[in-house]
Structure 1
Amino acid sequence: MLTRAGLSLLCLSLAACQSSNPYTSESNPIPPAPPVEQVQSPTYPAAPRDFSSYQNWSWRNPPAGTASLAAEELQDMVSGALDQRGLRPAPEGARGDVQISASASMETRVRQVYDDYGTRVGAGRYGGYGPGYGSGVGIGASAPLVRNYEEQVIAVRIEMIDSASGQTVWSNRAEALSGSSQAERKDAARDAVNRALADYPPR
């Protein structure tokens, strides 16, 4: 009797397993691919500028002088430095491949000098040679001494503008320590011009 009851329960269990599964899998449909014209092309860096295409130059605005440097002197310095780098002046009245803008100014810089004498260590005897006297070591430290110096420098800025596009393609600024005499100031201005153009054409 027990065996029949067990068989009946087993049959009911198998029948329950064969009933439909109440859980069904669902998924959203895959969206269609975007049209070809909407696919963005990758962005690539702009091609490097070919500075060898610039053969001649003209002034955008002739530079003005300073209190210690005439305008004609600054123009001659810039023109000579450009000539050393393969850029020739455009014919009279013509516009060059690039237009040059230059300026010079006298400026003050503050330079700090640190005098650090460091830690002092000394050894020696003190007192006499009697009882209770002997040798000793002394240590002393000193704070660094800061001195401020004002210096006059000549600062030069040079800018190159593409004549076709009107865009600035190169610019730089440099300065040089100025002296007290007129000749030393001119040498400083020439040095600053050459420093400003030292990395032209860029590599």
Structure 2
Amino acid sequence: MLRRLVLFSALALLAACQTNNVAQDFDASRDFAAYRTWSWKEPALQYRPDDPRIKSDLTEQRIRQAVSGQLDQRGLRPAQAGARGDLSVQTYLIVENRHQQVTTQYGGAWGGYWGGYWGGPAFNETRTVEYKVATIQIDLLDGRDGKLVWRGSAEQTMNHYPPNPEERNSAIQKTVTQVLANYPPR
């Protein structure tokens, strides 16, 4: 019973540590104010791994809508149909398994206020906890020369897999907002 309680606590702690690791990189020599329009670079969304359990038209639609909305909020407009934008946008959805070792100590001695210790021998138990991390990466490439000018990514620990549609939509919106929060770079 105690082992289950400790294991549950460790899993709850992992689930609570849902901090998104957000990273951005950009070409400082570029004039980001000159970029006014954007278009998708096909394929607009690439999956890593190319797993049919992850790959979905619905997921692609959610990511496209989230990216489009965030770019619009930053003053970038979609290029005219058939025209190339000042920026080409490509996204990646990367899902990977990660492992973390959790060590729990059982037993040991306890002491009273006036001395004297009581209790049993202490022992440690180490186990590996496996969890999934999803990363959304957004690449912005110059529409003229095709060079990468800005890249942002954020990863999120998945509490349970697969999440329901509302959770997916919320997680995608939140993650894309965090990725593009510092675009354009200052």
What TM-score do the two structures reach when normalised by structure 1? 0.59
Q: CA deviation at 1:59?
A: 0.8
Task: Map 1:136-147; keep pairs closer than 5 Å.
Answer: 136-138=116-118, 142-147=122-127
Percent of aligned pairs sharing the same letter: 38
- What SS is found at the alignment partner of 2:64? helix
Distance 1:83 1:137, change over 3 A: same
For 1:166 and 1:124, the matched residues in 2 are separated by 72
Match of 2:145 among 165, 174, 177: 165
- Structure 1 runs not aligned, ≥5 long: 1-45, 126-134
Larger relative strand fraction: 2
- What SS is found at the alignment partner of 1:104? strand
1:199 matches 2:162? no
Which one-letter code corresponds to 1:151 in the other structure?
Y
Distance 1:124 1:59, change over 3 A: closer
1:152 matches 2:132? yes
Q: CA deviation at 1:150?
A: 2.5
RMSD value over aligned CA atoms? 3.2
Which one-letter code corresponds to 1:63 in the other structure?
L
- Deviation digits for residues 107-160 of structure 1, max 9, x if unmatched? 3232444445796431389xxxxxxxxx84458774554443322332111111
Which one-letter code corresponds to 2:30 in the other structure?
R
How many pairs were matched up? Answer: 149
Which one-letter code corresponds to 1:59 in the other structure?
W
Q: CA deviation at 1:74?
A: 1.8
**Contact kept in structure 1, 2:141 and 2:150, CA below 8 Å:** yes
- What SS is found at the alignment partner of 1:166? coil
- Runs of 4+ deviating beyond 3 Å: 64-70, 111-121, 135-148
Q: CA deviation at 1:187?
A: 2.0
Aligned to 2:34: 53
Aligned to 1:71: 60
Q: Which moved more, 1:185-194 or 1:65-74?
A: 65-74
Aligned to 2:75: 86
- Structure 2 runs not aligned, ≥5 long: 1-26, 48-53
For 1:98 and 1:187, the matched residues in 2 are separated by 26
For 1:70 and 1:52, the matched residues in 2 are separated by 31
Tell which structure's C-alpha radius of gyration is larger. 1
Q: Which moved more, 1:193-202 or 1:139-148?
A: 139-148
- What SS is found at the alignment partner of 1:83? helix
What TM-score do the two structures reach when normalised by structure 2? 0.64
